[in-house]
Amino acid sequence: MTERQRSRPSLPTAQQAMRVKIISFGSEAVGKSCLIKRFCEDKFVSKYISTIGVDFGVKPVKVAGQSVRVNFFDCAGGAEFFEIRNEFYKDASGGLLVFDVSNRESFEALGNWLAEANSHGANDPVLVVSANKADCTKRAVSEAEGRQWAASRGLAYFETSAKDGNNVTLMFEALLAAVSAAVEQKAGKALLAASRKVKP
């Protein structure tokens, strides 16, 4: 191999995977980790194990025929992890805002979670609201109220159950499709802006 060949930058191939960063956030014990585990491994762990700081996971998927590498950042909901999780909102492509339908307090905290994300670098990511534990027989938040809250903020809303898997895959597929479209749109705008700087 010549020196010129070694120094030549490699070009991306058509099969190169798009990389996206997805964060999950919301109050403690609402099932954020369980939702990600259900989607990534199709498993449910009934024993509650609190996330310490931020958990990281990767899942390769196909979105509209394109390879996408999803980097999940599962943020702990405890107040003691405030300084840690606030380092991970920045550059998120999308996010999962989760509450527990049997826990009124977790629903009422959603606005605070949005404010926290926005004030710590979340730059208009694609977000969905997950009303988790929808399998519970005793609800503290109705589906109508949850949908109204999400709609008033322009967010998609899904009733989910990490326990039985209901709507989990549907929610993630919808989120990733929207994220992929947004990433491609931003890339197109950046390319257009760069082309305008080219001198004739």
Predicted confidence (pLDDT) per residue in 125-148, tens digit: 999 999 999 999 999 999 999 999
Alpha carbons within 13 angstroms on the beta-carbon side of residue 122 total 23
State the average pLDDT for the chain. 89
CA distance 176 to 63: 7
Write down the pTM of the prediction.
0.86
The residue among 156, 137, 132 whose CA lies nearest residue 44 is 132
pLDDT at 143: 98
Quick: pLDDT tens for 60-105.
Answer: 999 999 999 999 999 999 999 999 999 999 999 999 999 999 999 9
Has residue 111 got a pLDDT over 50? yes
The domains of the chain are located at 17-180
pLDDT at 10: 45
pLDDT at 89: 96
Residues, the chain:
200
pLDDT at 199: 57
DSSP string of 128-142, one letter each residue: EEEEE-TT-SS-SS-
- 17-180 folds as Rossmann fold (3.40.50)
